A and B are shown apart, each in its own frame.
Chain A
Amino acid sequence: MKLGLAMAVMFGSLCSSVPLLAHHSFAAEYDSRKTITVHGVVQKVAWVNPHAYVWVDVKDENGKVVTYAFESLSPNALMRGGWTRNSLKAGDEVTVDGYLAKDGKALADGSIHANSKLITMADGRKVFVGSSGDTADPTK
């Protein structure tokens, strides 16, 4: 699986000549040095513009559930990647690699604000791949 992940990352770099996250500057909002990997359960998916969002409930070491809100690509870009609004559903178990927001402020609903680089489902399928996080450059 590690090789698969490496290839997926390589693939992301091949695609990097086109800024999939076109709506705003990645570096103005997220910190490419604050990488996170969380494992949890999808609470809900918002198939909305300018970015789809995926909320993931994660249990911390004390068993307390915290919710992350992961920004993804826009629905039109996800659809051209072959995903649909049904590719990821509430209740799905996922591992998310991503980046935290620079300002550290929660979204209005209290969830931790982050950008998803890669979402891997329990069976190994990768969905919503290709966020600008793949090409995050802290200087740009």
Chain B
Amino acid sequence: MKKHYLVLAVIALALATLATAQDPGGKFGPVGPGPATQRKGTAPQGPTPKMPDGKPDFSGVWSPTNFFAMGQPSLTPWADALYKERRANLSKDDPEGNCLPAGVPRISPFPMKLVQTPTLVIMLEEGNVHSYRQFFLDGRGHAKDLDPLWMGDSVAKWDGDTLIVDTIGFNDKTWLNGQGLPHSDQLHVIERYQRPDLGHLSVDITLDDPKALTKPHSFNRAYSLLTDWEIHEYVCNEFNVDAEHLVGK
């Protein structure tokens, strides 16, 4: 009898997942108790929170809901050759496999946290490697003579209720995604952050890289708010026994 209940429970869970497949907030919660906002598979409802100056407040813990949204940019011959090499060896040289930062705009499937003040927005990445981005909102321009950076140099400004984040100053060591899409140190990322309501974050992202892309590439990344779940510690180098076993083919 118990087995029948188990089967029924699994079927119910599977159906619930199918029903929420468009907003798979429950993607990490197939069986156990998990966080309620993810178990329900729906983002919390309500109006967009505001800062004292009336601008949207993006603060919160955000879980990505369309992980593969980037699609396929049009690559230059240099980038295409590098991409094919990385595909051929099954991403064995992915920097993340060595616990190096993901770069921008690559993300992990794990949540990130935004913390906002009137002059600064901070993005805290849970994983795969703890990393942070600072969106300077105090009117400054990009720093001069930037060192090549893993996460780039970001300055931000408002366009109505949209926060526009402009990022340059990258090294060429990170990948655009786990499949190995390359970029160069000429990468320029423009992100347009919008919070249309309490539970949703929408980011229109445009990548420009004259060395790696034949034309700018745009896509939208979506997140839903986790109200009862924090970002977690993820110390990638603690037990990274994988690195020496990543053999590719």
Listed in ascending order, the chain A residues whose CB lies under 8 Å from chain B are: 1, 3-4, 7-8, 10-12, 14-15, 17-20, 22-25, 27-29, 46, 48-51, 53, 71, 74-77, 79-83, 87, 101-103, 105, 107-108, 113, 124, 126, 129-130, 140
> Are the CB atoms of B127 and A76 closer together than 8 Å?
yes
Besides the contacts A24-B94, A82-B33, what 15 more A-B pairs have beta carbons closer than 8 Å?
Answer: A7-B11, A11-B30, A12-B30, A14-B14, A17-B24, A17-B68, A23-B128, A24-B91, A25-B91, A27-B90, A49-B239, A75-B232, A79-B232, A80-B34, A82-B32
B110 and A22: CB pair below 8 A? yes
How far, in whole Å, are A4 and B3 apart by their CA atoms in the complex?
8
B10 touches A51 (CB 8 A): no
A76 touches B110 (CB 8 A): yes
Give chain B's interface secondary structure class: loop
Q: Which residues of A contact B91 (CB under 8 A)?
A: 24-25, 27-28
Distance, CA A80 to CA B233, complexed state (A): 13
Residues of chain B having any CB pair with chain A under 8 Å: 3, 6-7, 10-11, 13-14, 17-18, 21, 24, 27-35, 38, 67-68, 89-92, 94, 96-97, 99, 108-110, 126-128, 178-179, 229, 232-236, 238-242, 245-248
A124 to B4, CA, bound (A): 12
Of B11, B33, B245, the most chain A CB neighbours within 10 A belong to B245
Nearest Cβ distance between residue A105 and chain B, in whole angstroms?
A: 7
Contacts of A28 in B (CB 8 A): 89-92, 94, 97, 246-248
The reply to whether A107 and B241 form a contact with Cβ atoms under 8 Å apart is yes
Given contacts A18-B24, A23-B97, A23-B128, contact A83 B239 (CB under 8 A): no
Instruction: Say yes or no: A105 contacts B234, CB within 8 Å.
Output: no
B164: min CB distance to chain A, Å: 28
Chain A residues positioned under 8 Å from B108 (CB to CB): 22
- When chains A and B are docked, how far (Å) is the Cα of A123 from the Cα of B153? 53
Report A135 CB to chain B, min CB distance, Å. Answer: 13
Query: How long is the Cα–Cα vector from A36 to B67 in the complex, in angstroms?
Result: 30
Contact A23 B242 (CB under 8 A): yes
Residues in B with CB closer than 8 Å to A76 are 110, 126-127, 232-234
Contact B31 A25 (CB under 8 A): no
Q: Which residues of B contact A23 (CB under 8 A)?
A: 96-97, 99, 127-128, 236, 242
Using Cβ atoms and an 8 Å threshold, which residues of chain A touch B35?
80
Q: A18-B67, A76-B234 are in contact. Are A25 and B11 (CB under 8 A)?
A: no
- Cα distance A1–B10 in the bound complex, in angstroms: 12
Residues of B with C-beta under 8 A to A101: 245
Cβ of B211 to closest chain A Cβ, rounded Å? 25
A25-B97, A82-B32 are contacts. A19–B246 as well, Cβ < 8 Å? Answer: no
Q: Are A25 and B127 neighbours in the complex by a CB distance under 8 Å?
A: no
